[in-house]
C-alpha cells in the first residue's frame, strides 16, 4: 500500500489532469440532467395499482386541463363586471395554441332553465353567454346544483372556476394507447419477451415527446400568469392543476439549489477559514466538493437519471459526504505537520494518505451500506435514489483520496498551528464525560433510547402535498384555496363494474343506479371527501328538471341517448364507459382536512363497500390519492424491515474491517442510538413519515457510521497506549467536531427555505450529525474501554 500511495503523490500532475479531463467531459453531460416533479416519478411502473389507474384513466379519458379560480374582490361573482372579466380572460386563454376550449360559468348549459329540459331543442344553448338571466335566478340555479356546485362555482358563490381544456397530442395519444393496452394485459398475465421489448420501445418513443410537451406546458403556465396579471387589481386569481403544481415545485427546488446552495457554500467556506485559518483549505475543499458533484451530475445525465421530489437533496448529501472526508484529511495532514517538523510536502502527503486511506475508504463503503437499505424496497424511485447515493459516495471517495492530495502537492508544507482553544475545551468535556462518568453516559444513552422508542410509537405515515410548501408561498395559497373552495385537490376514483344486468339492453338499470347512489352517499359522508361526481349527479339533475320527480330507468336511458352527443360526452363521458359497462365515482380528497388519517379513510371506505354488500371484485379504488398512499405504506414497511437487515450488514462489515466481533457490536451501538433518536424526535415533534422524510433513517445511518469508523480506527491504532481515549479524542475528535459544526451550521440555512421538506432535511440532518458526534465522543469510547480488546 505504501508504494502505491507514494506513486499517487509522485504522479499528482497526471492525476490532476485526469480529473480535469473527466470533470470537463462529465460537466458537459451534466447539462442533460433534469428535475422531474411529475406524479409519475414517484410511482412504480409495474405496480398493479398504477396499471389499474392508467387503464381507468384511458377508459374514462379525462381531458388535460388547468383551472383558474376567479374570486372578485369588491363585486359579486354573479355580476356583469365579473362576466365581462371572465369573458375577456377566456378569450385570451383561447388564443394559446394548444387550447381546445375554455369552460366557464358563461358557457356551461343551465339545463334546469332550458325549455324542454335535457332533451329540449338546443338545450346546450341555454348559457349565460347566450341568454339574459337575472343574478337572483342564477344564484338560485347554482344553489345545491348536483353538478356545478364546487366544480364551477363554490358553495358560498364568491368564486368561480375557469377550466382551460387542452388538445391532446395525436402521436403521443396513439403511443399511450398502445402502452395502456400492453399494461392492461400485464394485469392478467406476464408479457412475452417481444411484448416487453415493444413496451420499452414505446416508452422510449414517448419520452422525448413528453419532454417537449412539458416544456410547452411550462411556457403556457408562464403565459397564463402573464394574462391574469392585469386582472389582479379587481380579483384574486389562483391557478390549479397537476402540471402547474409540478412546474412550481421544480422552480422552488431550483431556487433552493441556487439561493440556499450558495448560502450553505458561503457558510461552509467561512467556517473553514475560521477553523483552519488558511485560504488554501477553502480552495481545496471547494474544488473537491465541486468536482465530485459535477462528475456525479454528469454521469446521472449520461445515464438518464432524473432528480425527483424524493432525491432532490442528493447534492446536499454529497456535499456532506465529500466535506467529511476532506476535513478528516486536513486534520490528519496538520497533525502530521505538527509531528514531523523536518518532513517535506511529499512525505507529509504520503503519511496523511497512509493514516487515512483505509478509514476513509471503510467509512465510505459502510456509508453506502446505509443507503443500500433503499435498494431493499420495491419502489423504483426510491431504489433509484439509493443507487444515486451509492454512485455519489464513490465519486466523493475518489475525489477526496486522489484529487485532494494531488492539489495539495502544489502548495508548500504548512507551518505548525495549534487547534482552536474552544474546540479543545469542547473535546475535553466529552473526554471527561466518557473517561470519568462512563456509567452516567451509558444510563443517559439508555434513557434517550427509551424516550425515543416511545416517540417511535407516535410516528405517523402521512403525505399532505399542500404541507410541502410554506403558508407564505403562492403555490400553498393556490392549492389551499382550490382545495377548500372547489372540492379538493387529490383524485380518488371508485370504478364500479356491476355484474351482468337482468336487462342488458339498458345502460342504466334501477339496481345499478341505487348501488351507485349508496356508494356516492357513503363517500360524501366523510369530511375529507370534496366534490364527488358520478352518473348519480346526472340523475339528480334530471330529477330536478323533472319537477322533483325521479325518472324511471327507461326514461333515464331514453334521455341519455336522445341528448346531443357532445353534451352527453361532456356530462357523462368521464363517469360511464358504455363499451365496458363501468361506472366511475370520482371524488377529490380535501388535503387541508384537519386530522385526516389517510390510511383510516381508505379502510373506512372499504368497510362501507362491504357493508353495502358490494363484492370486492365488482369495484376498484384508483387515482393519485390511492397511489401516493400505496407507495407510502410500501416505503414504510420496507424501511422498517430493512433497518434490521442493514444493521446486521453493518455489524458484519465492522467485523470484517476490525476482525473482532466485540469491536463490531460496540461500533453498532452509537449508530442505533442515532437512528432511533432521530426517528423518535420526529415522532415527538409530530413530523410525519412521508415521501420526503422516509429516507431520513438511511441518511442518519450513513452519517453516523462515518464518524464511528474514524473513531474506532484511530482508537485501535492507539490501542497500545493507556491514554488511547485521550489521544483519539485529540486527533480524530477535531475532525468529527469540525465536520459536524460546519455541516450543521451550513445546513441551518435551509431552515429559511419555503419548501418544507428542505427545512425538515436541514433540521433532521443537523440533528443526526449532532447526535452522531455526541454518541461517538461519549458512548463509543466508554464501550470501547469496557468491552473492546486493545
Which cell is 750 given? 435551509
Domain 422-484+623-790 fold is Multidrug efflux transporter AcrB transmembrane fold (1.20.1640)
> Does the pLDDT value for residue 43 go beyond 80?
no
- Residue span(s) of the chain under CATH 1.20.1640.10 come to 1-32+278-418, 422-484+623-790
> Does the pLDDT value for residue 45 go beyond 80?
no
Which cell is 790 given? 486493545
Q: What is the per-residue pLDDT for 443? A: 95
Per DSSP, the residues of 568-618 read: HHHHHTTTEETTTTEEEEEEEE-TT-TT--HHHHHHHHHHHHHHTT--GGG
Condensed to tens digits (0 to 9), the pLDDT of residues 201-232 reads: 998 899 899 889 989 999 999 999 999 999 99
Q: What is the per-residue pLDDT for 585? A: 94
Mean pLDDT of 723-743: 86
Give me the percent of the chain exceeding a pLDDT of 70.
93
> Does the pLDDT value for residue 563 go beyond 80?
no
Q: What is the per-residue pLDDT for 115? A: 63
Q: What is the per-residue pLDDT for 549? A: 82
Contacts of 97 (CB under 8 A, 6+ apart): none
Q: What is the per-residue pLDDT for 416? A: 61
Q: Specify whether the CB–CB gap between 534 and 575 falls below 8 A.
A: yes
Q: What is the per-residue pLDDT for 37? A: 61
Helices (H), 304-437: 314-339, 345-372, 380-398, 404-408, 421-436
DSSP label at 555? H
Which cell is 215 given? 416544456
> Does the pLDDT value for residue 571 go beyond 80?
no
> Does the pLDDT value for residue 366 go beyond 80?
yes
Mean pLDDT of 435-452: 93
Condensed to tens digits (0 to 9), the pLDDT of residues 499-534 reads: 766 566 777 888 888 899 999 999 999 999 999 999
DSSP label at 114? S
Grid cell 387589481 — which residue? 233
Contacts of 188 (CB under 8 A, 6+ apart): none
Cβ-based burial of 21 (10 A; exposed 0-12, middle 13-18, buried ≥19): exposed
Which cell is 495 given? 370504478
Mean pLDDT of 71-75: 93
Which cell is 568 given? 352527453
User: Which segment of 152-156, 268-272, 354-358, 692-696 scores lowest on mean pLDDT?
Assistant: 692-696
Q: How far apart are CA 317 and CA 385, in angstroms?
A: 12
> Does the pLDDT value for residue 640 go beyond 80?
no
Question: Cα 4–729–274 angle (5° rounding)?
Answer: 85
Contacts of 157 (CB under 8 A, 6+ apart): 76, 77, 78, 139, 142, 143
Q: How far apart are CA 745 and CA 750, in angstroms?
A: 10
Mean pLDDT of 400-404: 92
Q: Note the maximum CA span of the chain.
A: 105
Neighbours of 11 (CB within 10 A): 14
> Does the pLDDT value for residue 291 go beyond 90?
yes
Q: What is the per-residue pLDDT for 520? A: 93
Higher pLDDT, 492 or 706: 492
Helices (H), 80-192: 80-94, 135-142, 170-186
Question: pLDDT-derived band of residue 1, with 50, 70 and 90 as boundaries?
Answer: low
Mean pLDDT of 27-36: 82
Of 658, 780, 696, nearest to 650 (Cα)? Answer: 658
* Sign, CA torsion 462/468/470/474: negative
Q: What is the per-residue pLDDT for 272? A: 86
Mean pLDDT of 74-83: 93
Mean pLDDT of 168-184: 89
Spell 66-84 as b/e; 16+ CB within 10 A means b: bbbbbbbeeeebbeeebbe
Q: How far apart are CA 535 and CA 185, in angstroms?
A: 28
Q: What is the per-residue pLDDT for 504? A: 66
Q: What is the per-residue pLDDT for 453? A: 93
SS3 457: coil
> Does the pLDDT value for residue 242 go beyond 90?
no
Q: Which of 249-258, 361-370, 495-504, 663-672 has the highest mean pLDDT?
A: 663-672
> Does the pLDDT value for residue 607 go beyond 90?
yes
> Does the pLDDT value for residue 435 go beyond 70?
yes
The CATH superfamily label for domain 1-32+278-418 reads Multidrug efflux transporter AcrB transmembrane domain (1.20.1640.10)
* Mean model confidence pLDDT for the chain: 85
Condensed to tens digits (0 to 9), the pLDDT of residues 448-461 reads: 999 999 998 888 88
Q: What is the per-residue pLDDT for 78? A: 93
Query: What's the alpha-carbon Rg for the chain, to the nearest Å?
Result: 31
Give the bridge partners for 491, in sequence order: 588
Rounded (10°) CA dihedral 752, 241, 247, 758 = 30
User: Which segment of 192-196, 547-551, 590-594 scores lowest on mean pLDDT?
Assistant: 547-551
Amino acid at each position: 500500500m505504501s508504494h502505491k500511495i507514494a506513486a499517487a503523490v509522485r504522479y499528482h500532475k497526471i492525476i490532476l489532469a485526469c480529473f480535469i479531463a473527466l470533470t470537463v467531459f462529465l460537466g458537459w453531460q451534466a447539462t442533460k440532467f433534469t428535475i422531474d416533479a411529475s406524479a409519475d416519478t414517484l410511482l412504480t411502473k409495474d405496480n398493479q395499482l398504477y396499471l389499474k389507474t392508467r387503464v381507468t384513466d384511458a377508459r374514462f379519458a379525462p381531458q388535460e386541463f388547468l383551472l383558474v379560480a376567479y374570486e372578485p374582490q369588491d363585486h359579486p361573482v354573479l355580476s356583469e363586471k365579473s362576466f365581462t372579466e371572465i369573458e375577456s380572460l377566456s378569450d385570451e386563454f383561447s388564443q394559446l395554441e394548444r387550447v381546445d376550449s375554455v369552460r366557464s360559468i358563461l358557457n356551461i348549459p343551465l339545463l334546469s332553465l332550458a325549455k324542454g329540459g335535457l332533451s329540449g331543442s338546443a338545450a346546450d344553448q341555454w348559457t349565460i353567454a347566450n341568454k339574459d338571466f337575472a343574478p337572483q335566478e342564477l344564484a338560485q340555479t347554482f344553489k345545491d346544483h348536483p353538478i356545478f356546485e364546487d366544480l364551477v362555482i363554490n358553495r358560498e358563490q364568491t368564486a368561480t372556476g375557469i377550466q382551460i381544456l387542452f388538445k391532446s397530442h395525436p402521436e403521443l395519444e396513439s403511443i399511450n394507447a398502445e402502452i395502456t393496452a400492453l399494461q392492461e394485459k400485464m394485469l392478467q398475465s406476464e408479457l412475452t419477451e417481444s411484448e416487453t421489448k415493444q413496451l420499452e420501445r414505446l416508452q422510449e418513443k414517448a419520452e422525448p415527446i413528453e419532454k417537449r410537451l412539458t416544456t410547452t406546458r411550462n411556457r403556457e403556465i408562464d403565459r397564463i400568469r402573464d394574462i391574469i396579471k392585469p386582472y389582479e387589481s379587481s380579483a384574486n386569481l389562483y391557478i390549479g392543476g397537476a402540471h402547474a403544481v409540478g412546474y412550481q415545485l421544480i422552480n422552488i427546488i431550483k431556487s433552493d439549489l441556487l439561493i440556499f446552495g450558495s448560502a450553505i457554500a458561503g457558510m461552509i467556506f467561512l467556517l473553514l477559514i475560521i477553523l483552519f485559518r488558511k485560504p488554501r483549505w477553502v480552495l481545496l475543499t471547494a474544488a473537491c466538493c465541486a468536482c465530485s458533484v459535477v462528475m456525479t451530475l454528469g454521469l446521472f445525465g449520461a445515464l438518464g437519471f432524473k432528480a425527483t421530489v424524493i432525491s432532490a437533496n442528493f447534492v446536499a448529501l454529497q456535499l456532506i459526504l465529500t466535506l467529511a472526508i476532506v476535513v478528516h484529511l486536513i486534520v490528519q495532514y496538520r497533525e502530521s505537520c505538527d509531528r514531523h517538523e523536518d518532513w517535506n510536502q511529499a512525505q507529509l502527503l504520503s503519511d496523511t494518505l497512509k493514516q487515512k486511506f483505509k478509514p476513509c475508504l471503510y467509512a465510505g463503503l459502510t456509508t453506502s451500506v446505509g443507503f443500500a437499505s433503499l435498494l431493499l424496497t420495491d419502489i423504483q424511485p426510491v431504489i433509484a435514489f439509493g443507487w444515486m447515493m451509492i454512485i455519489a459516495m464513490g465519486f466523493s471517495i475518489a475525489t477526496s483520496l486522489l484529487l485532494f492530495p494531488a492539489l495539495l502537492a502544489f502548495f508548500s508544507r504548512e507551518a505548525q498551528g495549534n487547534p482552536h482553544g474552544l474546540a479543545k475545551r469542547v473535546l475535553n468535556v466529552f473526554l471527561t464525560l466518557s473517561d470519568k462518568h462512563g456509567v452516567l453516559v451509558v444510563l443517559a444513552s439508555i434513557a434517550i433510547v427509551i424516550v425515543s422508542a416511545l416517540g417511535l410509537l407516535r410516528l405517523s405515515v402521512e403525505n399532505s402535498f399542500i404541507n410541502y410548501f410554506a403558508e407564505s408561498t403562492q403555490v400553498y395559497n393556490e392549492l389551499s384555496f382550490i382545495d377548500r373552495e372547489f372540492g379538493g385537490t387529490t383524485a380518488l376514483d371508485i370504478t364500479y363494474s356491476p355484474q351482468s344486468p337482468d336487462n342488458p339492453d339498458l345502460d342504466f338499470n334501477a339496481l345499478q343506479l341505487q348501488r351507485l347512489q349508496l356508494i356516492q352517499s357513503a363517500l360524501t359522508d366523510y369530511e375529507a371527501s370534496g366534490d364527488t361526481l358520478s352518473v348519480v349527479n346526472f340523475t339528480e339533475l334530471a330529477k330536478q328538471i323533472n319537477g322533483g320527480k325521479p325518472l324511471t330507468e327507461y326514461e333515464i336511458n331514453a334521455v341519455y341517448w336522445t341528448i346531443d352527443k357532445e353534451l352527453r360526452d361532456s356530462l357523462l363521458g368521464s363517469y360511464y364507459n358504455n363499451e365496458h359497462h363501468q361506472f366511475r365515482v370520482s371524488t377529490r380528497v380535501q388535503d387541508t382536512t384537519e386530522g385526516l388519517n389517510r390510511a383510516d379513510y381508505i379502510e373506512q371506505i372499504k368497510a362501507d363497500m362491504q357493508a353495502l354488500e358490494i363484492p370486492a371484485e365488482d369495484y376498484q379504488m384508483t387515482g393519485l390519492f390511492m397511489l401516493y398512499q400505496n407507495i407510502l405504506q410500501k416505503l414504510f414497511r420496507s424501511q422498517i424491515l430493512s433497518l434490521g437487515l442493514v444493521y446486521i450488514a453493518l455489524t458484519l462489515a465492522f467485523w470484517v474491517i476490525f476482525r473482532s466481533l466485540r469491536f463490531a457490536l460496540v461500533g453498532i451501538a452509537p449508530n442505533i442510538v442515532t437512528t432511533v433518536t432521530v426517528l423518535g424526535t420526529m415522532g415527538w415533534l409530530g413530523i410525519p413519515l412521508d415521501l420526503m422524510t422516509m429516507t431520513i433513517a438511511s441518511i442518519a445511518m450513513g452519517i453516523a457510521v462515518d464518524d464511528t469508523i474514524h473513531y474506532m480506527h484511530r482508537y485501535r491504532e492507539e490501542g497500545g497506549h493507556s491514554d488511547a481515549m485521550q489521544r483519539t479524542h485529540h486527533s480524530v475528535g477535531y475532525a468529527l467536531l469540525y465536520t459536524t459544526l460546519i455541516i450543521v451550521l451550513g445546513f441551518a440555512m435551509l431552515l429559511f427555505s419555503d419548501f418544507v421538506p428542505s427545512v425538515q432535511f436541514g433540521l433532521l440532518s443537523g440533528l443526526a450529525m449532532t447526535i452522531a458526534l455526541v454518541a461517538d465522543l461519549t458512548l463509543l469510547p466508554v464501550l470501547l474501554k469496557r468491552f473492546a480488546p486493545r
